[in-house]
Amino acid sequence: MGAVDVPEAGGGGKGGKKKKRRIAIRLDMTPMVDIAFLLLIFYMVTTVFAAPQAMDINLPKETDESEEMDVKKSNLAVIRVDSTDTYWWSIGDEKGSSRPIDDKNLLDSLLVNNRQNYFLSTLVKIHPKADFEAYVDILDDFARVENAFQKDREFVEEYIAENRRVLGEDRFTDTTYSYRYTTAPWSDRRDTRMLEFSLDSMRARGERLP
């Protein structure tokens, strides 16, 4: 607590003038320290710390029955990432149909093809030696496509109507747009386009050809 000390009045000074009394103030800082600690504890208890960010992945619903569906080649987009982190794009999984695509242009290709085809599914194949970041970037692009189309009410209505008409209301129960994709193990195959592109890339880097 604070205290005020008032000194006794002294004798007169020169010329008979009295000296002014000085008031000395003492403050007890103990309550202030208590308040500071209380505020610190309150901050620690009420502050919400940033939770670690995790990537959301849409998983299928758990079921005891497995249902296989045949996908037409025209309804299948295939994305491959080879050991050199090169992206390959194709519609269908036919040999020799792949073409290299810049990873920065992948999102535009996904938007265009999914808007044109309400039944498009995407198959992703990643080489074991490819950078894992490529897979994360592809999933991010899937999420961007899904978010963009979910905001387009006219597209969502047409998407639901077409899928229910073809698949049936009992099989297609979605109420909004959901990006369809799956993954598959990488399979080395003799695709002449991929081989020629890889050889040209090695020549451009001045590497020794096998």
Query: Does any domain span residue 190?
Result: yes
**138, 175, 177, 178 from 150: Cα distances, Å:** 18, 10, 6, 8
Mean pLDDT confidence for 139-167 = 92
CB atoms within 10 A of CB 89: 19
> pLDDT confidence of 28, banded at 50, 70, 90?
confident
Model pTM score: 0.60
Compute the distance between CA of residue 84 and CA of residue 169 in angstroms, rounded to an integer: 44
At 79, give phi and psi (nearest 5°): -115, 125
Residue 171 lies inside a defined structural domain of this protein? yes
Where residue 192 sits, what CATH number does that domain have? 3.30.420.270
Residue 85 in domain:
yes
Q: Is residue 2 part of a domain?
A: no
Q: Report the pLDDT value the prediction gives residue 16, as an integer from 0 to 100.
A: 60
The residue ranking higher by pLDDT, 65 or 39, is 39
Q: What does the pLDDT look like over 102-130, one tens digit per residue? A: 888 999 999 999 999 999 999 999 998 88
Evaluate whether residue 150 is within a structural domain. Answer: yes
- Assess if residue 32 is contained within a domain: no
Percent of the chain with pLDDT strictly greater than 90 = 29
> Structural domain of residue 186, as residue ranges?
73-204
Residue 118 covered by a domain: yes
80 DSSP β-pair partners: 88, 125
The pLDDT score that the predictor gives to residue 195 is 54
Given a cut of 60, is residue 26 above it in pLDDT? yes
In this model, does residue 197 exceed pLDDT 80? no
Question: Does the structure show a pLDDT above 90 at 137?
Answer: yes
Q: Report, as an integer, the average pLDDT of 117-146.
A: 92
Comparing C-alpha atoms, which of 64, 62, 54, 69 is closest to residue 182? 69
The number of domains in the chain is: 1
With cut-offs at 50, 70 and 90, classify the pLDDT of residue 184.
confident
Summarised one tens digit per residue, pLDDT across range 61-72 is 555 555 555 667
Whether 52 maps to a domain, the answer reads no
